[in-house]
Structure 1
């Protein structure tokens, strides 16, 4: 039923489509199921194209890289003693980023 509902929602969107339009969707099964795949060509012929984002790739997302360094490389064990301590440590890392805390991509 969710796939059918998604297909119905896309059909309901058509009256608003006045020029070539792209709907960006993630790889959730509701977005990639058979009922959606069967209609892609028809929708494309009517000017509505579906673009699927790649599978989740945290290595391509800069903020994910920063959080990984903060969590696994820079934070001290003492940071986890309390919520206030954790906030202070995270703030110090963000303030010191680029000076005291550096990510070398080379």
Structure 2
């Protein structure tokens, strides 16, 4: 990974990590305070199968503020509707990231089938600003985006009784915006992996 970091710095590129996660109407439970003998109860309004999927990028470059870029995708509830991101969704996310970051990207992500889809690989091969590397199998501890999901679940989503899917989306957006404006949180997610990005 250090070699990849040096490669990104040498090219003047952003080192970008990607991951996706799904969130449902059932809130994650977290510790809280209450009076002795009065256990807090979070009442959930029905068990909705509707999920919100989010693909996120954490972006690092020496001498620049770390960035978080994300895209939500709602499950429309249709039986034949796609619930996860397609290769076109990833193409559009990477194109938008390239425009926002204003420079080449060295992308590091996991071995998800859609990440290795032939159409996506063909598209990526034609972009001189994009270099892709894959994480080892079963290595979520090397992906700083996992830290973003942890911050969301322990903070903005924990013990919240979501009334509607829109309520869930609102909380997700609020949490992600909070993180976006605090680059030290994004840096902390990288530090948790034990990886660093240093100029050559």
Band of TM-score, shorter chain: 0.3 to 0.5
Structure with a larger share of its residues in strand: 2
Give the structure-2-normalised TM-score: 0.25
Bigger RCO (CA 8 Å, 6+ sep): 2
The TM-score with structure 1 as length reference comes to 0.43
